[in-house]
């Protein structure tokens, strides 16, 4: 084969690859901060499950990140009972979920990278489009990722917890830290089925 042809073949783009990232709930932290007139409320939830699939060529994504809404705690029993019964209504809506549909940015083979993940944020029975900005650290295929975002919960239809004495913010600040392992799905060339379920 002629050298010029070899050079041309070497420059052809590789087939698109579908990546899968599985999050470990035991190594995740979901925390929130809610400002108030008398004090700031800090709380936490537990990650129930999490996985992300995305095509590195097109950015198309799938999967879900699910938080156990019933696990929410702020450290004060009466406040927690009111949060679950009147605000989040966790008996009726036990999960909060984020379903990604597009990823912008590339995961670095090692070290730090930043990606934007767009998708549908499902809270209290309603879906809201949102883009989460992740800072990702890659150490040999083991990923840690963090993101901070704001939920305008009153605008989204949840009950305002303010009272005559206590006034709280109409937005809650969220912080998520998660860890997991990434892998390439088999059969990801164009036109082939993917072991990750396909996008």
Each residue's pLDDT tens digit in the chain (199 positions)? 544 433 333 333 334 578 899 999 999 999 999 998 878 999 999 999 999 999 989 999 999 999 999 999 999 999 999 999 999 999 999 999 999 999 999 888 889 999 999 999 999 999 999 999 999 999 887 899 999 999 999 999 999 988 767 789 999 999 999 999 888 875 443 333 444 655 6
CB neighbour burial string for 9-22, b if at least 16 within 10 angstroms, e if fewer: eeeeeeeeebbbbe
At the fourth CATH level, the homologous superfamily of domain 15-184 is Lipid/polyisoprenoid-binding, YceI-like (2.40.128.110)
Alpha-carbon span 118 to 100, nearest angstrom:
6
The residue written with tokens 């679950």 in the block is: 84
**What pLDDT does 198 receive?**
58
Question: Token match 């396909």: residue?
Answer: 198
Give the pLDDT score at 190. 33
CA atoms of 164 and 175, how far apart (whole Å): 29
CA distance 21 to 51: 6
Task: Read off the pTM.
Answer: 0.83
Beta bridge pairs of residue 116: 104, 133
Helix (H, G, I), strand (E, B) or coil at 129: strand
DSSP state of 36: B
d(CA 21, CA 192): 20
Q: How confident is the model at residue 36, as a pLDDT?
A: 85
């Amino acid at each position: 084969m002629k050298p010029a042809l070899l050079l041309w073949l070497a420059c052809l783009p590789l087939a698109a690859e579908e990546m899968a990232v599985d999050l470990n709930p035991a190594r995740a932290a979901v925390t929130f901060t809610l400002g108030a007139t008398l004090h700031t409320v800090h709380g936490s939830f537990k990650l129930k499950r999490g996985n992300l699939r995305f095509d590195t060529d097109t950015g198309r994504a799938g999967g879900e990140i699910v938080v156990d809404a019933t696990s929410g705690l702020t450290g004060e029993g009466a406040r927690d009972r009111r949060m679950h019964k009147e605000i989040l209504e966790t008996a009726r809506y036990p999960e909060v979920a984020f379903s990604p549909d597009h990823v912008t940015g590339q995961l670095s083979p090692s070290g730090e990278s930043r990606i934007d993940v767009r998708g549908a944020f499902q809270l209290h029975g309603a879906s809201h489009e949102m883009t989460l900005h992740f800072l990702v650290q890659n150490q040999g295929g083991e990923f840690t990722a963090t993101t901070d975002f704001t939920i305008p919960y009153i605008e989204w239809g949840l009950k305002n917890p303010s009272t005559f004495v206590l006034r709280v913010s109409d937005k809650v600040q969220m912080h998520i830290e998660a860890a997991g392992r990434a892998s390439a799905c088999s059969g990801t060339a164009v036109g082939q089925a993917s072991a990750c379920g396909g996008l």
